[in-house]
Amino acid sequence: MADDDLMSDDEQLDVPNNIKHITSIRLGQVDIDCWFDSPYINVEDGSNEKDRSIEKLYICEYCLRYFLNNRKYRQHMNECNRRYPPGRKIYEHPDGLSVYEVDGTTSQLYCQCLCLLAKLFLERKTIYFDVNPFLFYVLVESDKRIKNVQHIIGYFSKEKLSDEFYNLACLMVLPHRQRQGFGRFLIALSYELTKLEKKTGSPEKPLSALGQMTYKSYWHSTILSKLDEYHRLQIHVTVTELSMETGICIEDVVQTLIDLRLAHTKNSTNEINFKQPEVRNRRRHHHHHQCDNNLDVSSVLIIDVDALRTALNNLSTSNLSSKHNQNAFDSTYLRLISRR
């Protein structure tokens, strides 16, 4: 994007012929060191073509337009009339967190710039310009001093139609906002949207090392909390029901139970039973699932109650010493989404 020209939302970026190394960016009032290269285009500063290094790129945190020149960046900031993402607000918490759903087709330029920004901090990201098939969920925080101003924290994207039932394609939290629970917030939102669609989902794979760690943490705590609820209410459920109630696909549910060493099974994994023979638990029936009364022993997933208690205690201890509950997603503040 040329630093002299203002591009409208109906314009789009072209695929670049070369990539320059960008050392750092200025995003709003924050300087951030870049981790990886990103194919920003038309940021030539008159330097020799062989010089592929840019010391600092200036990015408007509201429209994501970018500049090499600090003077032009400041001029743009005085003229830019955007103070929050395009799209519609689908989440608004009284503490100041909001989420906007941005369509890659209707806000193509913004979404392309968002992908370019994300590539500075994501090694495996490969899609920057073909944003039409995606929805972007941009997490922002309201400025505590200036009304109607919101600062970007991160985002996740998802395909509008996914044959593989992926509910998240890419997730990025800006480096200076990491380790504050925002990655977990976005993951929880992705599953809440999946549940509203009456589906289950899984993130696009392979996951990065950081992504795998964040997802495992979310899966562990979410499934453990549900199992604790079932056990306290003396309820038996199928794995399918656990999957539908959490939005987590069956494969990820089963793998999580195995990873936590809570369950074992010989063949299929249809029903969850708690390993506590002296307690006669009732079955709970859901109108949208048929419970199979003909399951043999080999098809039953056995949950070790003692192991469950140990895992829950470990989770509670971990949560006390971490920031899992900081900036937690609260579905109460998710606005009704009628279009799906």
Containing 138, the helix (H) or strand (E) segment is strand 134-142
Distance between CA atoms of residues 223 and 219, nearest Å: 6
Contact 81, 148 (CB under 8 A): no
Q: Where does residue 166 rank: exposed (0-12), middle (13-18), buried (19+ CB within 10 A)? A: middle
Sole residue written with tokens 């549900």: 226
How far, in Å, CA of 251 to CA of 203, rounded?
12
Q: Decide: 298 and 247 in contact? Cβ < 8 Å.
A: no
The C-alpha atoms of residue 192 and residue 257 are separated, in whole angstroms, by 21
Give the active site residue among 61, 101, 141, 204: 204
> Has 204 been annotated as catalytic?
yes
Local structure of 187: helix, strand or coil:
helix
Encoded amino acid at 72, one letter: K
Phi, psi of 76 (to 5 degrees): -60, -40
Taking every pair of Cα atoms in the chain, the longest distance, rounded to a whole number of angstroms, is: 79
Any idea which residues carry the catalytic annotation? 204
